[in-house]
Structure 1
Amino acid sequence: MNNNHTSHTPEDLQQLAQEHLDQLAQIKADTGKIKTKQRLAIPQQEMPAQDPGQRRTNMSEVALGYFEEQALVEAERCLQCKNAPCVAGCPVAIDIPGFIQKITERDYAAAHQIINRTSLLPAVCGRVCPQENQCQAPCTVGKSLKDTFQSVSIGRLERFVADWHAHHRHKNSVDAATKRTEPPAATGKKVGIIGSGPASITAAADLRRAGHEVTMFEAFHKPGGVMMYGIPEFRLPKEIVETEIDDLRRMGVEIRTNFLVGRTRKLTDLLELDGFDALFIGSGAGLPRFMHIEGENLVGVFAANEFLTRSNLMKAYDTSRADTPIRQARKVAVLGGGNVAMDAARTAVRLGAEEVHVIYRRTRTEMPARAEEVDHAEEEGVRFHFLHNPTRIIGDDTSHVCGIELLRHELGEPDDSGRRRPIPVPGSEHLMEVDTVIVSIGNSSNPLLVSSTPGLKTNRWGNIEVDEQCRTSLPKVYAGGDIVLGAATVILAMGQGREAAAAIHADLQ
């Protein structure tokens, strides 16, 4: 887990960072440079955060972002490796040493310009991407300290730069080069983008910059995809996503909401009747999976997708301004161990549940959720039950949930995922009293688009099959993001959006 986690207040962290800055300035004054050994001794900067007791009662962002002093100290930890292993770990190959070097020079506009060459959503990725498994995993600092969680905090620095840019973007102090360029002359080609999540946003922006006419189709009433309906406000403020969507509109991308491709209009009709020269499918994987155990049809059982959509997209938590119904739960069981499960559990806490229990069939070590999110959930009072799995959900005489039966497990040999397989312990069944169960064991792609599009090939999980350039089995149709990868990260989806846009542009020449 996050080994540098403490209970410092934000003000303490800012003061400590200033003291480290003063020490580093003295080293530079005395010797002219900071040696590698001295850089490795610089402590990783802790992320300032809301107090756990306070944040349980609000939907405001938990992680508050680095102070400038912290960003400057953290940036000095970077060794500026010539082989830059961190770049190889980034799905869109951001010049990480380059933008970090600009931070040390306090040239934040130039740092943003470097990031923006390859990443359209640094404020999003800096908040929600699992950097510890991507760019920070091969970091030389982490390798030297024998702890990935002590790598240079690339994601936090990316967020700092993005937030600085957002704060200064309308001021004269921002270099004009950091603003998105106007698209070139029109090519006369029309491209349709299905979905409005990270892959679609990236593809739309790149194609518009290339001069193509771009129309985005979104099934919901608000664009933004999983960033709007799936990730809670306390992890990703919706204002950030709305800013990115507004930027697309300013670039000239048309966005049509409440438009369900496959139902409102068939995909083939967009090509054959509406004159689109190419289509990109980035509709995500939003069909929830269930466990197929007794009691899943009881009142009080929810898919995490529905629970989070009601809260995030439809603002059910804001009872003073939204009439969206949501269950007033007292004791909640969340089934699963990924980031969505953490989001559901922490949302339930904020909606007033007295107890929230996460049920996971492996141990904490095997949990796919980010360590930081698990830490935050524990701080907020979520209780974890490892090596347990439900066997049935129990209802009362009115078909409402009143409990759940759990079976203990132990870990055996690794399975296909590389994680040790959970093995049931016979006779270890026991009951837990709950009135709400939230199932968060993964998602599949919605079959509507595929079933209404003959010839569109999918794999056995229902994901669309593509080649290395994101071309599907149908001419003029491309796909990327979760609809291809299954549940993936924001930046992996962005990488596919960029690949697809390049292929579309090349094929339209």
Structure 2
Amino acid sequence: MPTRPAAERVKDFLEARAPLEAEWAKYEASRCIHCHEMAACRRACPAGGDISRALFLVEQGKFIEAANVFRKTNTMPEICGRVCPQERLCEGACVLNRIGDPVLVGVLESFACEFERRATGVPIQPGAGTGRKVAIIGAGPSGLACADILIRMGHWVTIYDTRSHPGGALTYGFPNFKLPHTLIEDIWKSLKQAGVSFVGNTYVGKKKKTVNDLFAEGYEAVFLGVGSGIDAPLEIPGEDLPGVYKATEFLIRANAEKSFLPPRMLINPEVGHRVVIIGGGDPATDCARTALRLGAEEVTCLYRYTEHEIPGRARDRRLAIEEGAQFQYQVQPVRLIAGPDGELAWIDCVRIELGGPDEDGQRHPAPVEGSNIILDADTAVVAVGYYPDPIITATTPGLKTQKWGMII
């Protein structure tokens, strides 16, 4: 993927990807060998997009036509083209992996769809009015996608969200250097012009407004798109020390538009010289790259499994390493230690040994006795996963959840 030089991009929050030229896109698309109708890339795509057809059109320079192919199965292809884990899906399934690098499907998807958005806009045509009302709880990607589909069907759609502006994690969590926030603004503008309403600063599930209240107000259906927004804790001593951040707060304070934030979130996080990110997913990588842009001199991600098992995108991890981040594997914090001033100063870690796979194929980590190491740290960011907010299920009779709180 063409990117700006690391030494340049690490100094700002502008998009890391370099501006793409039409000739580059045509050349990259020409590498596709256009497999049969159910090509491996299409089978691997959760949306079932006709990737081969779209790339053929990109190769011909028919970018708007290509965008239309992507939009047949995806309401926000310019977003998915940037943040979808293509290396585990379409690009991972590309037959060209047998001899070299896969076609950069995601980059071409976002290029074609953004070309269309700049050239003609992407207006949403609402369907003939049905008079039926639908409420959507959560203005993140699933909520916006649901609104897009429902408004085209002619229903009245209102989105409720706890935050002041729509977008969810796209607006408040994803750094601009990874996903330009102007894209989310454009998508919301199209939805608003089509008639979708937004009610912000509203916590559905609490006493003032529950799901049952929405039904009582005349909504015939309620879509639950609240996502998993509660940071999972480490559950080790020292987690509440000054200098220790949860990933969500860290990313919001550093990356979100300041006018969208409450006063307590307006100041950027203080990172100090040495920052340790605990976790290995995409949020951990985003935190590492954000810390570097905030001025940290040393940024290290700790992950308790091996590099082969790390869940975050390898492409983003490579960008982070180019920018100066380091990754240590099979290391697990067991204690966060304060210095004389009461703030975080050190992290006590142990080396991890992985056992054999269980029935689910998961290898379980076990601390290696006597392997403790002490790391210097001015700042730590905990990015070890997320849980769904239990308030919806607690106040809505009849909803069933699995053991992690996900609605089933």
TM-score higher than 0.5: yes
Q: Does 1:360 align with 2:303?
A: yes
- 2:202 counterpart letter in structure 1: F
Q: Does 1:169 align with 2:120?
A: yes
Q: Does 1:307 align with 2:259?
A: no
- 2:116 counterpart letter in structure 1: H
Query: What are the superposed Cα offsets for residues 211-256 of structure 1, whole Å, 9 maximum, x if unpaired?
Result: 0000011110111011111110100010011111111101110011
Q: Quick one: structure 1 residues 394 and 314, their matched pair in 2 at CA, closer, same or farther if it must change by over 3 Å? A: farther
Deviation of the 1:154 alpha carbon: 0.9
Could you say which residue in structure 2 is the equivalent of 1:8? Answer: none
- 1:296-335 residue pairs with structure 2 within 5 A? 296-315=239-258, 323-335=266-278
CA distance in 2, matches of 1:234, 1:418: 35
Aligned partners of 2:131 and 2:155 also within 8 Å: yes
Deviation of the 1:98 alpha carbon: 1.2
Could you say which residue in structure 1 is the equivalent of 2:197? Answer: 254
Could you say which residue in structure 1 is the equivalent of 2:12? Answer: 58
Unaligned runs of 5+ in 2: none
CA distance in 2, matches of 1:282, 1:455: 17
Q: Does 1:111 align with 2:66?
A: yes
Q: 1:265 aligns with which of 184, 203, 209?
A: 209
TM-score (structure 2 length as normaliser): 0.94
Query: What are the superposed Cα offsets for residues 456-506 of structure 1, whole Å, 9 maximum, x if unpaired?
Result: 2111111111xxxxxxxxxxxxxxxxxxxxxxxxxxxxxxxxxxxxxxxxx
Deviation of the 1:329 alpha carbon: 2.5
Q: State the Cα RMSD in Å.
A: 1.8
Deviation of the 1:436 alpha carbon: 1.2
Aligned partners of 1:402 and 1:433 also within 8 Å: yes
Aligned partners of 1:228 and 1:313 also within 8 Å: yes
CA distance in 1, matches of 2:139, 2:169: 9
CA distance in 2, matches of 1:453, 1:186: 29
TM-score (structure 1 length as normaliser): 0.76
Could you say which residue in structure 2 is the equivalent of 1:498? Answer: none
Could you say which residue in structure 1 is the equivalent of 2:42? Answer: 87
**Percent of matched pairs sharing the same residue:** 37
Deviation of the 1:65 alpha carbon: 4.6
Aligned partners of 2:242 and 2:344 also within 8 Å: yes
Aligned partners of 1:66 and 1:156 also within 8 Å: no
Deviation of the 1:417 alpha carbon: 5.7
CA distance in 1, matches of 2:305, 2:124: 48
Deviation of the 1:415 alpha carbon: 4.2
CA distance in 2, matches of 1:449, 1:96: 37
- 1:354-433 residue pairs with structure 2 within 5 A? 354-415=297-358, 418-433=361-376
- 2:113 counterpart letter in structure 1: A
Deviation of the 1:128 alpha carbon: 0.8
Deviation of the 1:261 alpha carbon: 0.5
CA distance in 2, matches of 1:338, 1:203: 26
CA distance in 2, matches of 1:199, 1:357: 32
Q: Quick one: structure 1 residues 202 and 438, their matched pair in 2 at CA, closer, same or farther if it must change by over 3 Å? A: same
Aligned partners of 2:289 and 2:320 also within 8 Å: yes
Bigger mean CA offset, 436-445 vs 358-367: 358-367
What is the aligned length?
Answer: 402
Deviation of the 1:312 alpha carbon: 2.2
- 1:89-168 residue pairs with structure 2 within 5 A? 89-142=44-97, 144-145=98-99, 150-168=101-119
CA distance in 2, matches of 1:186, 1:218: 24
CA distance in 1, matches of 2:282, 2:362: 17
CA distance in 2, matches of 1:342, 1:294: 24
Aligned partners of 1:65 and 1:160 also within 8 Å: no
- 2:200 counterpart letter in structure 1: T
Unaligned runs of 5+ in 1: 1-46, 171-178, 466-509
- 1:297 counterpart letter in structure 2: D
CA distance in 2, matches of 1:187, 1:113: 26
- 2:114 counterpart letter in structure 1: D
Q: Quick one: structure 1 residues 212 and 333, their matched pair in 2 at CA, closer, same or farther if it must change by over 3 Å? A: same
CA distance in 1, matches of 2:314, 2:16: 15
Aligned partners of 2:172 and 2:252 also within 8 Å: yes
Could you say which residue in structure 1 is the equivalent of 2:153? Answer: 210
- 1:155 counterpart letter in structure 2: G
Query: What are the superposed Cα offsets for residues 430-476 of structure 1, whole Å, 9 maximum, x if unpaired?
Result: 111112111111000011222222222111111111xxxxxxxxxxx
Aligned partners of 2:254 and 2:268 also within 8 Å: no
Deviation of the 1:85 alpha carbon: 1.9
Deviation of the 1:325 alpha carbon: 4.7
Q: 1:345 aligns with which of 288, 294, 319?
A: 288
- 2:75 counterpart letter in structure 1: L
- 1:86 counterpart letter in structure 2: C
Aligned partners of 2:271 and 2:378 also within 8 Å: no
CA distance in 1, matches of 2:271, 2:88: 36
Query: What are the superposed Cα offsets for residues 145-199 of structure 1, whole Å, 9 maximum, x if unpaired?
Result: 2x6xx122111110110221122125xxxxxxxx445222210100001111111
Q: Does 1:67 align with 2:60?
A: no
